[in-house]
Amino acid sequence: MTALTSPGIDTHMTAAQRLADDPRIAAAHAQLLAAQHDAAQALTGPRPPLPGRSASYQHTLQRFGQARGGNLFYPYLGSGLGRGPLVELDDGSVKYDLITGIGVHFFGHSHLGLTRACLHAALADTVMQGNLQQNTDAAHLVEQLLRLANKDQPEVSFAHAFLTSSGAMANENALKLAFQRHQPAARVLTLSRCFCGRTLALSQITDKPAYRQGLPQTLEVDYLPGFRADDPDADTPHALSTMRRLLRRYPGQHAVLKLELVAGEGGFYPATAQHLRALMQEAKDHGLAVMVDEIQTFGRTLQPFAFQHFGLSDLVDLVTIGKLSQVCATLFKPDYKPKPGLLSQTFTASATAIAAARYTLRQLAQGDLYGDRGRIAQVHSRFVEHFQAIHRDHPDRLEGPFGLGGMIACTPFGGDPTRVRALLHRLFELGVIAFLAGGGSDPQSQPTRLRFLPPVPVLTDHDIDAVADLLRQAFDDVAQQHAKDPQ
């Protein structure tokens, strides 16, 4: 008699299910979570490095920079512990994390719900799941993604979601789907100042020449003017005119229109729904695929997807997500189902990343984050109030626009890149981590901006006010330093 048919064994349960229900597992998890919670209580606000750790920390940073072939932007090496928006570094300092790994850590640091999900996953067989061997939680994650994407208009639904290990690979997969569907067309239409990734193909689309210096050309890419709200009545006709000119110049050669609905690396400039719809409809009228890159916007506008926020579900063929979702994915409609062999990866994600993704999607679907009165809108409004107050007091120090939802930005010191970098590093010293966006050869039309991608679900109004106070102090310090040394 085998174990599966032994008396007392439920033949509807797998051994893995019985392990998950084992009371010893629940007791161990409770102890681990309690220990993490208790340790995190020591992190109450920003603090400087511990004197006894500074020298060894600097030595580790120097060695790491040499080993990786370049220094870090910030001297940031985490200790492995945080508390919501606060993160502890290995030198003992504590900082407000307002960039969250460029949008990855949506729930901040040492979040008990995420930890619990990952603890369960740590006992699951296979560290990395992939094309040949995936667990059932990968199937459930795909279903969650499709439900969330189709919540507004199921009649024009996304039918498929392919999991992948990075945002770059999600974009690569979307482009492959578009090229296969529209072969032999192989040109890409996109927006100026866009970011798409740094692979051999994606670096051709990313509008940063430095990112493809020395690389061979792999794609033919044509750029439309990016949306800027200075003159919206003229922006759309100008973009449409440019698109039509390019489509006439290369008849039948464009396969896809690739869009960021809010310019991410380009500076957090949101377009209008009318502008985006006009471009998408023109592309559809000419037989192009419409691809929306939501690696950075996913979960951060006033709807889970930015295309839902702008009411564009009916026109989008392919959408890519990443960052806060933990596991990246390409979602696509039935017409773009690939032929066998086009999409396949050894690794799609780790079991813990999939568990974290499923937890994250449940919170997006069930929480109070979205809508005009949701927490994302509240956080955005409170930051904007502080930005506007700083502008009233010092118009030369800060100006808008201020981004959209959980993508928050401002233009310090007229967008001067040297002074913005000085501001960011002073903020870091004071205990706030932010980052750059925008920037280009012409500071007037492409100013360097400060951006926040805050951990919205765990950020309190008190945290926002404390960050604003530190931002004011950083502005004062940088302004005083510039007055002493204008160079």
- Give the tens place of pLDDT for each residue, 262-303: 999 899 999 999 999 999 999 999 999 999 999 999 999 999
pLDDT tops 60 at residue 2: no
For 141, the enclosing helix (H) or strand (E) is: helix 136-149
* Assigned token pair, 52: 């006894």
Q: Which residues pair with 432 in a beta bridge?
A: 96
Structure confidence by residue, pLDDT tens digits, 397-448:
999 999 999 999 999 999 999 999 999 999 999 999 999 999 876 666 789 9
User: Considering only CA atoms, which of 37, 78, 101 is closest in space to residue 454?
Assistant: 101
Instruction: Note whether 439 and 451 are within 8 A (CB).
Output: no
For residues 88 and 78, the answer to whether their CB atoms sit within 8 Å is yes
pLDDT tens string 54-112: 999 999 999 999 999 999 999 999 999 999 999 999 999 999 999 999 999 999 999 99
Beta bridge partners of 332: 160, 318
Residue 249 CB-density burial (10 A; 0-12 exposed, 13-18 middle, 19+ buried): exposed
Cα angle 274, 277, 281 (rounded to 5 degrees) comes to: 140
Residue 254, strand partner residues = 187
Percent of the chain with pLDDT strictly greater than 90: 88
Q: First vs last Cα of the chain: how many Å apart?
A: 84
Global pTM?
Answer: 0.94
Segment holding 357, helix H or strand E: helix 351-366
Q: How is residue 236 written in tokens?
A: 């759309």
Residue 193 in this model has a pLDDT that exceeds 80: yes
Q: What is the mean pLDDT of residues 176-200?
A: 96
477 pLDDT tier (thresholds 50, 70, 90): very high
